Amino acid sequence: MSFGVKEAEETLASAFAPWVVALGLKPLQFGPDSGRFVLPENKGLVHVGGVICGQASAAAADTCAVVTLAAVNGRFRFCTTVDLSVKFMRPLPPGDAEVRVKVLSNGRRMAYASVEIVPAGSEKIAVTAMLTFAYLED
C-alpha cells in the first residue's frame, strides 16, 4: 500500500485534534524511513519573547513523527506517544521551519523516531526530539 504526500495531507486533516490541524503542517516528501515537513509561519505560535513557542515545536515534532510512521507503514496505524523528549537548542525564529523525521525502529508494537526542526533556509538545529510510540492496533 502506498502512502505519500496526498495521504499525509488527508491524515493531517482527519486524524488529529483541531488545534493540531491549525498548526498547518505541510508534508514535503517521504523516504523509506524518513519524512520532511514544513511548519509554516504562523504569528499565533509566537510568544511574548518573539520566537515560536516550545509547545508548538513539540506538537509539530510529535505529529510529523506519527505521519512519517504512517508513510513507512503504508497506512495510518493508531498509536499513542509513550515518551517525548524535546531539547531546545536555540530559539526558533518566526517564519517557516523545516521538520525532519527519522524513524529509528519500527516494530510490531513499538516505534522510535528522532526529529530535528530548523528555521527555513538554515542548517542550524533549533529543536531536537526523541519519541517513542506504542501501536494500539496491528
**pLDDT exceeds cutoff 80 at 78:** yes
Range of the domain at 55: 5-135
Residue environment code for 95-131, b if the CB has 16+ CB neighbours within 10 A, otherwise e: eebbbbbebeebeeeebbbbbbbbbeeeeeebbbbbb
CATH number at residue 22: 3.10.129.10
pTM reported for the whole predicted model: 0.97
**pLDDT exceeds cutoff 70 at 82:** yes
Total number of domains in the chain = 1
Confidence of residue 54 (pLDDT cuts 50, 70, 90): very high
